[in-house]
Amino acid sequence: MSKRTAPAATAVAYLRVSTEEQATSGAGLAAQRAAIEAEATRRGLTIVEFFSDEGISGKAIANRPALAEAIAAVEARQAESLMVAKLDRLSRSVADASRLLDQASRNGWRVLSADLAVDQTTPAGEAAASMMIVFSQLERRLISQRTKDALAQKRAQGVRLGRPSETPAEVTRRIVDAKARGLSLRAIAAELTEAGIATARGGVWRASTVKAVLDSQDAAALAK
């Protein structure tokens, strides 16, 4: 039986933002969609469907349901290509991204990236894509290492680290006082919930959210 042929000049699009990136306009879903649509127009392609994973880490391809659906779509020949805004939307792992590019090559479909205007089905295009993935990972690791080194230096200088709390000052004070009374994180969460006090984002108090407040700069200042 002959393999089904995908409609000509078609692509499915994949979007992804991690939890941290959801507040970053440059990495947001709308920005990615706009970049993909512009590149599709430039290439004369029709996007037949968009798939998106929200609030999911980019290190590995596994456990990303929307990406699995997008890959299944091109494997089923619903489109010729899988398009992303940037290659790191597929994965921030060199090994994972390389495996996906190899899968595309073996099975007769293409991975297209809006920020890389090359044909990745050619040896030169495949090499360019692989090098971009490698240098993207290198850049992230260098940034991570510089951040760790800077934090270590601040700790050595006696600087108390921690993010400012989004929680109102009176609630932070209540949590600090409750902890000073010997209450557990879970007990503090239950006390706040019973009092009808919502978290800074309007959610329900849990031990983890109480700990986040206690680890903040505001709480550290009150505890002095």
Residues tagged active-site: 18
* β-pair partners for 54: 17
- The values of phi and psi at residue 115, to 5°, are -95, 5
Helix, strand, coil shares, percent, the chain, to 5? 55, 10, 35
User: Per the structure block, which two tokens stand in for 169?
Assistant: 């000052």
Angstrom CA distances, 129 to 37, 116, 148, stand at 20, 8, 29
What ranges make up the beta strands (E) of 46-157? Answer: 46-54, 81-84, 110-113
Q: Going by DSSP bridges, is the β-strand pair 46-54/10-17 parallel, antiparallel, or unpaired?
A: parallel
CA 3 to chain centre: 35
Report the distance separating Cα 118 and Cα 37, nearest Å. Answer: 17
Per-residue b or e along 111-124, where b marks 16 or more CB atoms closer than 10 Å to that residue's CB: bbbbebeeebbeee
